């Protein structure tokens, strides 16, 4: 077996006279001449050879007399027809001592499963192309009643066809073949571009022709790869020696099980070959998860492809007991009895992770793309060191266990080493669960606070549209309420990448139930059990409304199909519809006001629903980590006094347990590596791709990431991040400048409230406002002229003209709670505005005054644990350019006179750098 510390993408099992190889490397296995496995003809694998790999490259014919199963995503040949030969061995030739010829051996079974016939593993292939073309043909816009409708270059049907043509250029085929398949569709698109008349029927005919041509290509490839009966014939009889000697009998013929992926799960369920190995699929899921954990843009794209591959491979699930494939799994000598249950869990996990990845809203750990931690770089470095030490312990147990398993050695000491360390993993999971509960409570407050904002924007929009009700209903064919509620549903769903053809029909699963645990409860009203995609067009909106008795959608309508379109295209459609709807409105200000209110409404809904999606993801993480904790505790108890034999029926479950705790430990390290990089980004304002520098590798191939992300490799990555931190400290140069020089005696940099915000604060005693970022050439930079990387260590608040009320001859207390909303912009030295998101930061500034003079400061407005005297080890200080809430609760209003207040302002103390001279 290859060393686990060398290549965790490969497992080789040699026992019971059979060879089983599991591989998830894109480079895959090479068999045939001039490879490690030129032939299996002269081996003792009398129970067969089984190869489960993402890629199998055959350089020549391959002989395995006792049976050969090849299950692969990509079958790569030498450019000519090859044979996978399992014909039985010929009988022995008679000798003078034993003149009769020996009987030929029976032919073995050839099982062949090819998911994606291609000579180039990294590119889309015919089978993938057929699925995309068929998905396009199945769109509701091709309904017969619309066949004579004209198509323009602004229609979604045009966009979908153009996406198919773009995909075609990636096929592993010659340009002549691509033109032969997609030429008719390309011609129709060219006509539409030129403004020539083209109908829905024209597009449908062209797409149907492409589908037929692709199907023909698939059949041709399948014929080349499929084995024939001669390759599983019985062995020839041995010839006798001497006149009266008898020849041996011919061996019995074997079986042929060629299986190719089909667009329907029903066809796969009829297969007679157990082609998806649960351990190999689990390895592939771990690989996809690893790419998602590391959070590199390059690796995320690879993760997306691997998740999709698993979902396609396992699309036959669930099976009925009467299905031939179900029987094949039950009768297989190499598949564990729990295989189908394990594969179903893998399929569900791949589905959930792919939807999370495609949403673009969170990473694997539920963090938004802009989220950054505020704890110090040194703090996370220390936590990471502890996690690496845990990983080393679990890695030792994992490696020793798998080595003993392969060599058929005693397993008990190795299992004991694993479960003795399980308490440490359970402790880490408890920490994670507490963090997630805290995040959920924060998100709950955040979502609740946004509800009145959404309803206010909706109310204003409806009022604006009611004024032009007749014109709008005539253009849309829908009521104002229907339009607004329908587009609310568009904003509800994950957007951006999910609109792509490749992401069609993904379902957001897993949020039907939530655990009960100490510390609080999950708000179920935020949980959506299913979000299914359909393209958002006016015709589709009308179609979807037919399913509603009242013809409307509910805000955040759960358990429903969602109309999805990315925000930019949605607003473009609204502009187009509004131009038509408001064509009779002559007042330009009225039209502008309507569009502004619609934009504002969509923005508020999208903002709130992005938070709901993040909430959902964190609920999913909570469920998973809680289940993992229970599983580890249960397995630890079961194994405590158990003696394990190498044929123990519980061995698959024990192996899964050993693998799971190791992967959990490794996942924690990769999570902390990502947090460490985010911490570095927030402090130094320079982002880093973990693939690009932590592993000294900028290649984009999947296998360019170390195949074995061991404790040593990940520890090396941490060291390289530390080196990068030191380099960037040097690049920034000297310490930043302070403003003001003395925080306690000098006024700081001020930001003044405008008259509307000041009026709101004085009348309502609270106001929320946005301080806009100051860039190098901003027109009104105020006190932040020529300042970048501005950080605030102390926030104060003042009033010009405030005094104590007439007749009050005592000190009066003024209390101001200042809350930084967490979403902020920091400008770097290159004059780039970088957006960050973190938890809200609150501080208290309070003072006593008599007359119009401040007599003493009670609370000085220090920001959290950001210590200007220990910037390397303190919490990272936020910047001033963010949403702030000013609250005067607790102030002795009855003893104060606000009537003469002419200014209200923030007074910030902190640091900044100067812009570099270009």
Each residue's pLDDT tens digit, 286-321: 889 888 888 777 788 888 888 988 988 898 899 999
Determine the pLDDT at residue 791: 94
Specify the DSSP class assigned to residue 690.
I
Q: 249 pLDDT exceeds 60? A: no
Do 195 and 294 fall within a single domain?
no
Q: Can you tell me the distance from the alpha carbon of 768 to that of 747, in angstroms, rounded to the nearest whole number?
A: 23
Do 297 and 216 fall within a single domain?
no
Mean pLDDT value of segment 21-41: 89
> In Å, what is the CA distance from 201 to each residue of 152, 204, 506, 513, 868?
13, 5, 27, 45, 69
* Contact present, 101 and 94 (Cβ < 8 Å): yes
pLDDT bucket at 502, cuts 50 / 70 / 90: very low
Determine the pLDDT at residue 291: 86
Determine the pLDDT at residue 547: 55
- How many separate domains does the chain show? 4
Residue 659 lies in a domain: no
Residue 591 lies in a domain: yes
Mean pLDDT, the chain, as a whole number?
Answer: 76
Residue-wise DSSP of 603-668 = HHHHHHHHHHHHHHHHHHHHHHHHHHHHHHHHHHHHHTT----TT-TTHHHHHHHHHHHHHHHHHH
In terms of average pLDDT, the best of 105-119, 384-398, 439-453 is 384-398
Do 531 and 589 fall within a single domain?
yes
Higher pLDDT, 156 or 246: 156
- C-alpha dihedral over 726, 731, 734, 739, to 10 degrees? -110
Considering the entire predicted model, what is its pTM? 0.71
* 3 state SS of 792: strand
Residue 609 lies in a domain: yes
Do 177 and 279 fall within a single domain?
no
Residue 121 lies in a domain: no
Do 213 and 282 fall within a single domain?
no
Q: 143 pLDDT exceeds 50? A: yes
Q: What residues pair up with 798 in beta bridges, in sequence order?
A: 905
Residue 408 lies in a domain: no
* Contact present, 723 and 330 (Cβ < 8 Å): no
Do 774 and 887 fall within a single domain?
yes
> In Å, what is the CA distance from 23 to each residue of 67, 110, 300, 310, 451?
19, 19, 21, 14, 50
Which residues fall within 8 angstroms of residue 618, CB to CB, at 6 or more apart? 366, 436, 439, 440, 443
Residue 641 lies in a domain: no
Higher pLDDT, 342 or 647: 342
* 3 state SS of 288: helix
Higher pLDDT, 248 or 289: 289
* Least confident among 109-118, 354-363, 779-788: 109-118
Instruction: Count Cα neighbours of 319 within 13 Å in the Cβ-side half-sphere.
Output: 25
Q: Can you tell me the distance from the alpha carbon of 892 to that of 897, in angstroms, rounded to the nearest whole number?
A: 10
Determine the pLDDT at residue 708: 66
Query: What tens digit of pLDDT does each residue of 70-121 get?
Result: 898 877 777 666 777 777 666 666 666 666 656 666 767 778 888 765 433 3
Higher pLDDT, 440 or 266: 440
In terms of average pLDDT, the best of 77-81, 577-581, 697-701, 750-754 is 750-754
Question: With 0-12 CB in 10 A as exposed, 13-18 as middle and 19+ as buried, what is 339?
Answer: buried
pLDDT bucket at 480, cuts 50 / 70 / 90: low
* Least confident among 107-111, 201-205, 760-764, 855-859: 107-111
> Is the CA virtual torsion 622, 628, 629, 631 positive or negative?
positive
Do 807 and 860 fall within a single domain?
yes
> Is the CA virtual torsion 702, 704, 707, 713 positive or negative?
negative
* Least confident among 4-13, 37-46, 431-440: 4-13
Do 214 and 317 fall within a single domain?
no
Q: 513 pLDDT exceeds 50? A: no
Domain with 514 in it: 449-615
Specify the DSSP class assigned to residue 692.
I
* Contact present, 511 and 529 (Cβ < 8 Å): yes
Nearest 5°: the CA angle 133, 137, 139 is 120
> In Å, what is the CA distance from 180 to each residue of 137, 186, 201, 437, 625?
19, 10, 20, 57, 51
Determine the pLDDT at residue 677: 84
- Of 359, 377, 397, which closes a domain? 359
- Of 615, 641, 669, which closes a domain? 615
Q: Can you tell me the distance from the alpha carbon of 157 to that of 2, in angstroms, rounded to the nearest whole number?
A: 51
Residue 29 lies in a domain: no
- C-alpha dihedral over 417, 426, 876, 828, to 10 degrees? 80
In terms of average pLDDT, the best of 679-683, 703-707, 867-871 is 679-683
Determine the pLDDT at residue 197: 84
Q: 511 pLDDT exceeds 50? A: no
Residue 703 lies in a domain: no
Query: What tens digit of pLDDT does each residue of 807-829 get?
Result: 999 999 999 999 999 899 999 98
- Of 615, 640, 662, which closes a domain? 615
Do 144 and 283 fall within a single domain?
no
Pairing outcome for strands 853-860 and 841-850: antiparallel
Do 197 and 274 fall within a single domain?
no
Higher pLDDT, 712 or 854: 854
Query: What tens digit of pLDDT does each residue of 653-697 get?
Result: 777 777 888 888 888 888 888 888 888 888 888 877 776 666 665
Determine the pLDDT at residue 537: 57
- φ/ψ bin of 34: left (φ > 0), alpha (ψ from -120 to 50), beta (otherwise): left
Specify the DSSP class assigned to residue 222.
H
Do 845 and 762 fall within a single domain?
yes
> In Å, what is the CA distance from 284 to each residue of 316, 325, 420, 630, 714?
18, 21, 28, 25, 20
Q: Can you tell me the distance from the alpha carbon of 97 to that of 241, in angstroms, rounded to the nearest whole number?
A: 9
Do 903 and 761 fall within a single domain?
yes
Determine the pLDDT at residue 763: 92
């Amino acid at each position: 077996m290859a060393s686990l510390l060398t290549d965790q993408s490969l497992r080789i099992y040699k026992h019971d006279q059979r060879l089983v190889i599991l591989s998830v490397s894109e480079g895959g296995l090479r068999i045939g001449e001039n490879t490690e496995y030129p032939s299996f003809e002269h081996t003792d694998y009398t129970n067969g050879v089984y190869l489960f790999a993402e890629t199998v490259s055959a350089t020549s014919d391959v002989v395995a007399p006792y049976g050969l199963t090849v299950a692969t995503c990509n079958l790569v040949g030498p450019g000519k027809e090859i044979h996978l030969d399992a014909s039985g061995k010929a009988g022995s030739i008679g000798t003078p001592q034993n003149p009769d010829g020996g009987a030929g051996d029976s032919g073995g079974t050839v099982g062949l499963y090819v998911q994606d016939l291609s000579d180039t593993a990294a590119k889309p292939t015919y089978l993938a192309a057929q699925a995309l073309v068929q998905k396009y043909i199945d769109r509701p816009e091709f309904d017969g009643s619309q066949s004579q409708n004209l198509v323009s270059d602004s229609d979604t049907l045009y966009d979908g066809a153009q996406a198919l043509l773009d995909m075609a250029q990636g096929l592993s085929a010659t340009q002549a073949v691509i033109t032969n398949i997609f030429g008719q569709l390309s011609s129709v698109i060219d006509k539409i571009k030129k403004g020539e008349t083209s109908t829905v029927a024209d597009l449908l005919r062209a797409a149907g022709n492409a589908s037929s041509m692709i199907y023909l290509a698939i059949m041709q490839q399948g014929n080349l790869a499929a084995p024939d009966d001669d390759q599983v014939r019985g062995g020839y009889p041995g010839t006798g020696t001497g006149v009266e000697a008898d020849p041996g009998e011919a061996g019995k013929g074997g079986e042929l099980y060629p299986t190719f992926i089909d667009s329907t799960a029903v066809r796969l369920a009829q297969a007679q070959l157990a082609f998806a190995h649960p351990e190999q699929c689990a390895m592939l899921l771990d690989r996809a998860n690893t790419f998602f954990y590391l959070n590199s843009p390059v690796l995320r794209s690879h993760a997306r492809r691997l998740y999709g591959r698993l979902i396609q491979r396992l699309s036959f699930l669930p099976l009925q007991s009467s299905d031939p494939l179900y029987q094949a799994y039950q009768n297989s000598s190499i598949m564990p009895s729990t295989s189908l249950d394990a594969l179903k869990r893998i399929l569900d996990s791949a589905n959930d992770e792919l939807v999370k990845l495609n949403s673009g809203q969170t990473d694997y750990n539920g963090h938004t793309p802009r989220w950054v931690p505020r704890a110090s770089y040194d703090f996370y470095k220390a936590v990471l060191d502890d996690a690496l030490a845990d990983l080393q312990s679990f890695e030792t147990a994992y490696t020793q266990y798998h080595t003993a398993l392969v060599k058929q050695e005693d397993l008990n000491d190795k299992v004991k080493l694993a479960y003795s360390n399980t308490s440490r993993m359970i402790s880490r999971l408890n920490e994670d669960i507490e963090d997630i509960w805290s995040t959920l409570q924060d998100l709950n407050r955040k979502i609740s606070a946004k509800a009145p904002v959404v309803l206010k924007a909706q109310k204003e929009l409806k009022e604006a549209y009611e004024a032009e009700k007749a014109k709008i209903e005539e253009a849309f064919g829908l009521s104002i309420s229907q339009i607004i509620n329908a587009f609310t549903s568009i904003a509800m769903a994950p957007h951006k990448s999910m609109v792509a053809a490749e992401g069609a029909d993904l379902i957001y699963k897993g949020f039907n139930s939530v655990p009960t645990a100490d510390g609080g409860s999950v708000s179920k009203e935020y949980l959506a059990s299913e979000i299914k995609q359909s393209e958002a067009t006016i015709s589709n909106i009308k179609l979807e409304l037919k399913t509603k008795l009242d013809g409307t959608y509910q805000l955040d309508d759960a358990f429903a199909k969602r109309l999805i379109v990315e925000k930019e295209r949605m607003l473009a459609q609204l502009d187009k519809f509004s131009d038509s709807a408001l064509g009779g409105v002559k007042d330009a200000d009225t039209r502008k006001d309507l569009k502004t209110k619609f934009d504002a409404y969509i923005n508020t809904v999208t903002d709130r629903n992005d938070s709901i999606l993040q909430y959902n993801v964190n609920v999913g993480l909570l469920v998973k980590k809680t289940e993992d904790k229970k599983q580890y505790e249960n397995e630890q108890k079961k194994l405590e006094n158990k003696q394990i034999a190498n044929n123990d029926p519980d061995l698959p479950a024990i192996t899964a347990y050993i693998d799971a705790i190791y992967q959990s430990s490794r996942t924690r390290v990769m999570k902390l590596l990502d947090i460490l990089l985010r911490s570095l980004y927030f402090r130094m304002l320079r982002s880093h791709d973990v693939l690009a520098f932590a592993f000294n590798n900028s290649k984009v191939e999947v296998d360019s990431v170390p195949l074995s992300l061991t404790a040593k490799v990940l520890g090396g990555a941490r060291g390289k991040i530390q080196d990068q931190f030191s380099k960037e400290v040097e690049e920034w140069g000297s310490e930043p400048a302070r403003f003001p020089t003395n925080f306690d005696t000098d006024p700081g940099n001020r930001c003044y409230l405008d008259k509307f915000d000041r009026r709101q604060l004085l009348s309502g005693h609270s106001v929320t406002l946005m301080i806009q970022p100051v860039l190098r050439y901003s027109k009104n930079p105020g006190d932040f002229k020529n300042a970048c990387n501005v950080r605030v260590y102390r926030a104060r608040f003042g009033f010009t003209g405030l005094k104590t009320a007439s007749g009050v001859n005592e000190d009066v207390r003024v209390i101001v709670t200042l809350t930084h909303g967490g979403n902020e912009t920091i400008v770097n030295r290159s004059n780039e505005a970088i957006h960050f998101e973190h938890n809200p930061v609150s501080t208290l500034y309070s003072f006593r005054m008599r007359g119009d003079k401040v007599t003493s400061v009670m609370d000085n407005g220090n920001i959290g644990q950001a210590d200007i005297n220990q910037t390397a080890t303190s919490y990272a200080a936020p910047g001033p350019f963010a949403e702030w809430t000013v609250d005067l609760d607790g102030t002795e209003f009855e003893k104060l006179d606000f009537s003469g207040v002419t200014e209200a302002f923030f007074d910030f103390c902190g640091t900044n750098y100067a812009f570099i001279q270009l």
